[in-house]
Amino acid sequence: MNLWFRLIGLLFSRPWRSKVTNKDHVAVIKLRVWPTDLDLNRHVTNGRYFAFGDIARIDFALKTGTHKVAWKHKATAVVGDTWGKFRKELKLFEAFEIHTKIIGWDEKWFYFKHYFVRNERIVGVVVVRGLFKTRSYTVPPQEFFRELGFDDTPPEKGEWLEHWSKSCDLMSEEIREFENSDNINYLNKENNT
């Protein structure tokens, strides 16, 4: 999270005034492109979309009351995986919206989708897989939904989301195997030369 002024602006706008009353709700925030958002090509840098998504999820948490459930459990939000699709560029001073929605969950992960919208066109999409973790355990998404009074039956993930989630799991397995092999010594030697 590196957009502190935007986050402070969001908090002063008191997003919790407009409540999200069910798990299918879409929360919307409005932003504008500033010079610090640009890359050398003079459009919003790809990485900035993921940071904008952080702000949109904080807005979503405030509107749903998820932050209260997290505080009760002394849990912090952790992003595990992200994926982005960029269709059109956002340029300096252009206004845009981020539409945030929960698109699924399982026993461990929440799945969020952020649509970046300008002039009623989707210019980009960011998908995030995240969880809430305490010092000793992961709080299941169903627990959040029950405490919020929402239906805790997950929707069908859809084929692409199921494949993406499985790819994330396979990458985690590959990293663990790599760390437990002699290959990690190769990395250490590379870093010491």
pLDDT 10s per residue in the chain (193 long)?
458 788 888 777 776 666 766 677 899 999 999 999 999 999 999 999 999 999 999 999 988 889 899 999 999 999 999 999 999 999 999 999 999 999 999 999 999 999 999 999 999 999 999 999 999 999 999 999 999 888 888 888 889 999 999 999 999 999 999 888 876 666 666 565 5
Q: Can you list the alpha helix ranges (DSSP code H) found in 65-130?
A: 66-73
Of 168, 112, 107, 95, residue with least CA distance to 142: 107
**Which residue segment(s) compose the domain that 180 sits in?**
157-193
Rounded to whole angstroms, what are the CA distances from 111 to 1, 3, 189? 19, 22, 38
151 and 168, same domain (yes or no) = no
> If you ran DSSP here, which 8-state letter would residue 154 be given?
P
What pLDDT is stored for residue 193 in this prediction?
Answer: 55
Contact indicator for 168, 162 with CB cutoff of 8 Å: no
**Is residue 168 domain-shared with residue 121, that is, in the same domain?**
no
Q: Are residues 60 and 71 in the same domain?
A: yes
pLDDT at 1: 47
d(CA 187, CA 180): 12
Does 10 share its domain with 100? yes
Instruction: Give pLDDT, residue 186.
Output: 63
Sign of CA dihedral 146, 150, 156, 160: negative
Q: Are residues 43 and 132 in the same domain?
A: yes
**pLDDT score at 189:** 62
Residues 12 and 98 in one domain: yes
pLDDT value, residue 85? 97
| Residues 147, 107 contacting (CB under 8 angstroms) | no
Q: How many helices (H) and strands (E) does the chain have?
A: 6, 6
Same domain flag for 141 and 167: no
80 and 38 inside one domain: yes
Local structure of 91: helix, strand or coil: strand
Q: How many domains does the chain have?
A: 2
Same-domain status, 113 and 192: no
pLDDT number for residue 21: 67
Q: Can you tell me the distance from the alpha carbon of 119 to that of 176, in angstroms, rounded to the nearest whole number?
A: 44
**126 and 182, same domain (yes or no):** no
Instruction: Count other Cβ atoms within 10 Å, centred on residue 112.
Output: 22
**Token representation of residue 189:** 């030697």
Q: Are both 96 and 136 inside the same structural domain?
A: yes
Whether 105 and 182 share a structural domain: no
